[in-house]
Amino acid sequence: MSKKEMVRVEQLNKSFGKLHVLKDVDLTVDESNVVVLIGASGSGKSTLLRCINFLEMKDDGKIFLEGEQVDKDTHNLNEIRQRVGMVFQHFNLFPHKTVLENVIEAPLMVKKMPKNQAIEEGKALLDKVGLGDKYDVYPSTLSGGQKQRVAIARSLAMKPEVMLFDEPTSALDPELVGEVLATMKELADEGMTMVVVTHEMGFAREVGDWVVYMHDGRIVEYGNPDELFERPKEQRTKEFLSSIL
Amino acid sequence: MSHFFDVFIESYPYFLQGLKITLYLSAASLLIAFVIGLFFAILKISNIKVLGWIADAYIWVIRGTPLIVQIFVLYYGITEIILIDKFWAGAIGLAIHSGAYIAEIIRGSIQSIDKGQMEAGRSLGMTKLQTMRRIILPQAFRRAIPSLGNQFIIGIKDSSLVSFIGAQELFGVSSSLGSNSFDFLTFYSVAAVYYLFIVLILTAIVNRIEKKLARSD
């Protein structure tokens, strides 16, 4: 069964000064799939994610969204970013706004949604991520896990077609990781297309449809979780997996 | 000491007039200074180099010359071209002066906001301008309030220099009264009390705003 292609990158290259961070990266993400990017820090995972929603500008290569090539010269990047949600390692919630205000900000400002509709939808999203009792508190009063769930709700409020997660649990205390992963799993089960950079191999194995191992700016190996974790083909993948498992 | 109180009470109609002008002068100049400061702060953080240079040049000239020189140059410069009254010449002079310091305060506080805030705004599809206005600036202002309050206090005291182009604000009034009676010490001391009073009130206001805004931290 052929699925609809949501994101494709072709021959992506990116350098920071002399540092060549992404080298000829090709990646395709089909609708409703969860692709998990793994690899050591500095391997280019986060940069790849940030190039997909143009928070970093690629040097070279092509990016396709739902089959259409998008680029900064031909498209309004603000419109592209509305279709690609992003969740950050450090949450990046707006500290001067309440939880609900965080969630409704972009629908109000960007989509010009009527306020009562934005509030209704925002509350529904916060209920969904288990924060129905936290509408009016400020982010500083929340735990890390709660903050990240607000960040997920904030991103979902724009009804993105794809969600990017950049190490969403790396800044969390170990006991708070589970609640965020559970929220992400729920999202995946509902059919959200997701690209996730994480060090949580349990999540990669359980929720991921595909796992991509990156090393030194290249995709070394690509496979379904069972294959990649049980029978890695490449020597580098084997070494990486044995170093972390 | 009782002489001081007698003078203080007897002279209050004159000083109230001076106080009024000091307050108007300070309010007008600081309001304009804030707009100037915000404008040059944004020039400085813009990606366009030339705009940054313009802001740098402005700040360099203002910080590098005494306020009294700026007031005189402006007053005699402007009155060459158009007739402008002392009040507005003084207010504009003070505003251009404070604006340079306020620009640096605002620039510093904008740059102290975590860059993840801009990224979060942009990742939601907000434009750079929307993110600046809705996300970055509110946080930056909150962070700038203690320094801005301090700069406002300096601005109020600096307004005394406008008396040198003839404005009858607090310092001007005390100079006039002093030279009429040769009792300079007493009249300048009375002026000092008025300044202390203004600064006391302003400090209380700034503290209150700070506390109110701290509720989300």
ipTM score: 0.92
Name the residue among B123, B127, B142 with its Cβ closest to that of A86.
Answer: B123
Identify the CA nearest to A236 among candidates A72, A26, A38, A24: A38
Identify the CA nearest to A82 among candidates B126, B111, B33: B126
pLDDT in tens, A147-187: 999 999 999 999 999 999 999 999 999 999 999 999 999 99
- CA triple A188-A127-A66, angle to 5 deg: 35
Q: How many CB pairs under 8 A join A and B?
A: 71
DSSP letter at B46 equals S
- List beta partners, residue B33: none
Note the pLDDT of residue B217. 64
Q: Does the pLDDT value for residue A1 go beyond 70?
A: no
Three-state SS for B126? coil
Mean pLDDT throughout A3-31?
Answer: 94
- CA triple A53-A57-A61, angle to 5 deg: 90
Q: Report how far residue B123's alpha carbon sits from residue B104's, in angstroms, rounded to the nearest whole number.
A: 29
Q: What is the pTM of this model?
A: 0.87
Query: How many residues are recorded in chain B?
Result: 217
Reported as type and span, the H/E element at residue B125 is none
Name the residue among A79, A88, A96 with its Cβ closest to that of B142.
Answer: A96
Residue with tokens 């300070």: B26
For chain A, the residues whose C-beta falls within 8 A of a C-beta of chain B are 53, 55, 78-79, 81-82, 84-86, 88, 90, 92-98, 105-106, 109-110, 138-140, 151, 154-155, 158
Enumerate the residues of chain B whose CB falls inside 8 A of the CB of residue A88. 116, 119-120, 123
Mean pLDDT for chain A overall = 94
pLDDT over 70 for what percent of chain A? 99
- With b meaning 16 or more CB within 10 Å and e meaning fewer, what string describes A170-194? eebeeebbebbbebbeebbeeebbb
Q: Does the pLDDT value for residue A188 go beyond 80?
A: yes
SS3 readout for chain A = CCCCEEEEEEEEEEEECCEEEEEEEEEEEECCCEEEEECCCCCCHHHHHHHHCCCCCCCEEEEEECCEEECCCCCCHHHHHHHEEEECCCCCCCCCCCHHHHHHHHHHHCCCCCHHHHHHHHHHHHHHCCCCCCCCCCHHHCCHHHHHHHHHHHHHCCCCCEEEEECCCCCCCHHHHHHHHHHHHHHHHCCCEEEEECCCHHHHHHHCCEEEEEECCEEEEEECHHHHHHCCCCHHHHHHHHHHC
Note the pLDDT of residue B133. 94
Q: Do B120 and A93 touch (CB under 8 A)?
A: yes
Mean pLDDT by 10-residue block, N- to C-terminus, for chain B (217 residues)?
A: 86 93 96 96 92 96 95 86 86 95 96 96 95 95 93 95 92 93 92 96 93 75
Nearest CA in chain A to B118: A92
At residue A8, φ and ψ (nearest 5 deg) are -140, 135
Q: Write the single-letter amino acid at B172.
A: G
Q: Which residues contact B140 (CB under 8 A, 6 or more apart)?
A: B106, B109, B110, B112, B113
Enumerate the residues of chain B whose CB falls inside 8 A of the CB of residue A79. 125
Nearest CA in chain A to B120: A92
Three-state SS for B114? coil
Q: Report how far residue B204's alpha carbon sits from residue A169's, in angstroms, rounded to the nearest whole number.
A: 43
Q: Report how far residue B90's alpha carbon sits from residue A168's, in angstroms, rounded to the nearest whole number.
A: 55
Q: Is B33 within 8 Å of B95 (Cβ atoms)? A: yes
Name the residue among B117, B124, B216 with its Cβ closest to that of A140.
Answer: B216
pLDDT in tens, A59-83: 999 999 999 999 999 989 999 999 9
Name the residue among A97, A98, A106 with its Cβ closest to that of B125.
Answer: A106
Q: Which residue has the higher pLDDT, B2 or A46?
A: A46
Three-state SS for B33? helix
pLDDT in tens, A196-206: 999 999 999 99
Residue A140: pLDDT band by 50, 70, 90 thresholds?
very high
Residue A115: pLDDT band by 50, 70, 90 thresholds?
very high
Q: A99 vs chain B: nearest CA distance in angstroms?
A: 11
Q: Report how far residue B120's alpha carbon sits from residue A207's, in angstroms, rounded to the nearest whole number.
A: 25
Q: Does the pLDDT value for residue A3 go beyond 80?
A: no
Query: How many residues are recorded in chain A?
Result: 245
Residue to mutate among A52, A56, A78, A93, with most B CBs inside 10 A, is A78
Q: Write the single-letter amino acid at B112.
A: S
Handedness of CA A17, B51, B159, B138 (dihedral sign): negative
Q: Which residue has the higher pLDDT, A215 or A1?
A: A215
Cα first-last separation, chain B:
48
Mean pLDDT for chain B overall = 93
Q: Report how far residue A35's alpha carbon sits from residue A160's, in angstroms, rounded to the nearest whole number.
A: 16
Nearest CA in chain B to A54: B123
Q: Do B124 and A81 touch (CB under 8 A)?
A: yes
Q: Write the single-letter amino acid at A141.
A: T
Q: Do A96 and B139 touch (CB under 8 A)?
A: yes
Note the pLDDT of residue B216. 64
